[in-house]
Amino acid sequence: MQDIMNDFYAKIGATSSVAPIIISIAFMLFAGFLMTRITKLLHLPNVTAYIIAGIIIGPFCLCLVPSSVQSGMSFITDIALAFIAFSVGEYFKVDSLKNSGWKVIVITLFEALVATLFVFILCYFILRLNLAFSAVLAALASATAPASTIMTIRQTGAKGEYVETLLQVVALDDVVSLVAYSVAVSIAVASQNSGGISFETIGLPIIKNLAALLIGGAFGFILKWLMPKKRTTDNRLIISIAMLFTFCGICALLDQSPLLGCMAMGMVYINFSKDDKLFMQLNYFSPPILLLFFVLSGMSFNLNSLVGTSSIGTMPLLVVGILYFFVRIIGKYVGAYLGCLITRKPKELRNYLGLGLIPQAGVAIGLAALGARLLGGELGSDLQTIILASCVLYEMIGPACAKLGLYLSHSYSNKIEEVAPVSPVTSLGKPKTDAEILIEEIQTIQSKMPQRPEISKEEEAFNEAAEQQYEDDYYNSKQRRFINRR
């Protein structure tokens, strides 16, 4: 198959140097889409479909994309992570943090950092793996994917303190993981440096990350200044993407990750503009970019290294991956339990919050791609292989665990008497018949149902943009007709 595809790309490459790139991108988009048709039947998230599609069309299976195109599309990683980090900044609203209080912050720190600590102890002290590898993998263990959990909450219609706390924790979780990753990268660089640990290897990277935060915050102010109320929606989208690309370019010139800076940009923008529609429009625009990123990540998945000898120590990579998979789950559960215990949260929340924090996908995969680039060679490939393999498993069991946590915490129920509680007696104290109780239960459920079909906020924001564009075009056409008549 590889020889056939190489001949195919050689023939079309002789005619046009651009054709192989365009056709490869088309293969990636179609493969990602078609795989979602299968995973949808299994109730799995799209991220899992994209990763599997990348593995299938990648160099270890069908070889539908040449390695030259794959290596030339590395910039997609930075762009995708810029969109992800910018959207994470939206959750860092000062007003929301004030309302949530310090309790949610404490729980988030515990559930993220305890998982990091457990994985680092496993890798470095028990398995005796490379320090740089152990530090970066441990930092990645803190990241959680909110999409699967949010999807499960919407499907079950769960409500209550458990749901509110879970949503707030998964929103802040990625902020902690980005900071933890930055620190871990500094440790990794220092451990690989022949000069040992010094200010240049530890202090300088931290200063660079702080500088990236400040510059990203400045970009957030500029973005807010460039977004007056009269700005059309399509121009808002153009300007915001241009700002993200500009910041990514600056970071690439400085050999610095754009993650913290883009997060700071989103954080500053949302707090000073109070404009969440821009985030919705970007989220509606970004799926093709994220698809390409996840498919590319799947193409980097090294099946041979997973089952063969590794470069990180004497332990086979498959064993390391399995141990990481279970230890991270234990770390998340224990951390969430301790955080809830310290903040004196109810028993239902304390015992089952960790079940909703198991999924792992977007941010972890993106950080793994950056970590692989930083570590380089087999070390980086092994890191990315473990994260990709574990993320597929996490996304498979994550929704089921989240649903179990919601059920055990009594956040939702399948029993009609709990979904629609009705008094068994009338206002006069007379017992109601079974038919009367059933009718009241049905009426209660109907009153809670939405009156119109629900659409996503992102789609609503883009519908508004389309309506505004139509009005502008209509006004311009009328103006042109008026001028022509004169």
CA-CA distances (angstroms) from residue 139 to 80, 112, 136, 164, 265?
A: 20, 9, 5, 26, 22
Instruction: Give the C-alpha separation, 192 to 131, whole Å.
Output: 9
The Cα-based distances of 309 to 74, 188, 237, 378 in angstroms read 26, 22, 47, 11
User: Other C-beta atoms within 10 Å of 95: how many?
Assistant: 10
Highest average pLDDT, of 110-124, 192-206, 292-306, 388-402, comes from: 110-124
Task: Specify the pLDDT at position 116.
Answer: 94
Between 185 and 421, the higher pLDDT residue = 185
Q: Kindly report the average pLDDT of the chain as a whole number.
A: 80
Tally of CB atoms within 10 A around 478: 10
The DSSP output letter for 354 is: G
Q: Is the separation of the CB atoms in 367 and 259 below 8 Å?
A: yes
Least confident stretch, 61-65, 376-380, 401-405, 459-463 = 459-463
Residue found by looking up tokens 């995969």 in the block: 365
**Cα–Cα distance measured from residue 92 to residue 174, given in angstroms and rounded to the nearest whole number:** 10
What pLDDT, on a 0 to 100 scale, did the predictor assign at position 376? Answer: 77
Please list, in sequence order, all residues whose beta carbon lies within 8 angstroms of the beta carbon of residue 7, skipping any fewer than 6 positions away: none
> Comparing 227 with 315, which gets the higher pLDDT?
227
DSSP string, 418-483: HHS---SB-TTSPBPPHHHHHHHHHHHHHHHS-SS----HHHHHHHHHHHHHHHHHHHHHHHHHHH
- Buried-state track 210-247, b at ≥16 Cβ within 10 A, e below 16: eebbebbbebbebbbeebeeeeebeebbebbbebbeeb
pLDDT confidence of residue 452? 47
Measured at the alpha carbon of residue 311, what is the angle toward residues 305 and 313, in degrees to the nearest 5? 115
Give the global pTM. Answer: 0.73
User: pLDDT tens for residues 143-170?
Assistant: 887 666 766 776 677 778 888 888 778 8
Q: C-alpha angle with apex 451: 449 to 457, nearest 5 degrees?
A: 95
SS3 62: coil
Place of tokens 């808002």: 236
pLDDT tens by residue, 248-276: 988 888 777 787 888 889 989 999 988 88
pLDDT tens-digit map of 431-440: 877 677 666 7
- Inter-residue contact 305 to 382 (CB < 8 Å): yes
Q: Indicate if the pLDDT at residue 475 is higher than 60.
A: no
Q: Mean pLDDT throughout 228-244?
A: 89
Helix (H) or strand (E) holding 92: none
Both tokens of residue 176? 């902690």
Answer with the residue of higher pLDDT: 22 or 77.
22
Round to whole Å and give the CA distance between 6 and 91: 46
Residues of the chain with CATH 1.20.1530.20: 76-293+301-408
Mean pLDDT of 466-473: 57
CATH architecture observed for domain 76-293+301-408: Up-down Bundle (1.20)
**Who wins on pLDDT, 466 or 275?**
275
pLDDT of 22 > 60? The answer is yes
| Out of 48-52, 90-94, 221-225, least confident range | 90-94
> How much is the average pLDDT of 60-84?
83
Which pLDDT tens digit goes with each residue over 345-363?
A: 888 888 999 988 888 877 7
Pick 238 or 168 by higher pLDDT: 238
> Residues near 253 by Cβ (< 8 Å), separated by ≥ 6?
none
- Cα distances (Å, whole numbers) of residue 6 to 12, 16, 63, 74, 327: 10, 15, 9, 21, 42
Residue 417: burial class (beta carbons within 10 Å; 0-12, 13-18, 19+): exposed
d(CA 482, CA 29): 45
Amino acid at 295: V
| R_g of the chain computed on alpha carbons | 25
Q: List the single range of 29-33, 330-334, 437-441 with lowest mean pLDDT.
A: 437-441
pLDDT digits (tens, 9 = 90+) for 377-433: 788 888 888 888 888 788 778 777 888 888 888 777 655 555 556 677 777 677 877
Alpha-carbon distances, residue 3 vs 131, 303, 308 (angstroms): 40, 20, 25
Q: Which of 246, 235, 132 is nearest to 191 (CA)?
A: 132
pLDDT band at 453 (very low <50, low <70, confident <90, very high): very low
Nearest by Cα to 210 from 174, 264, 249, 159: 264
Phi then psi for residue 86, to 5 deg, are: -65, -40
Give the pair of three-digit tokens for residue 316.
């086979």
* Portion of the chain with pLDDT greater than 70, in percent: 79
Task: Tell me: pLDDT of 206 over 80.
Answer: no
Which tops the pLDDT comparison, 53 or 478? 53
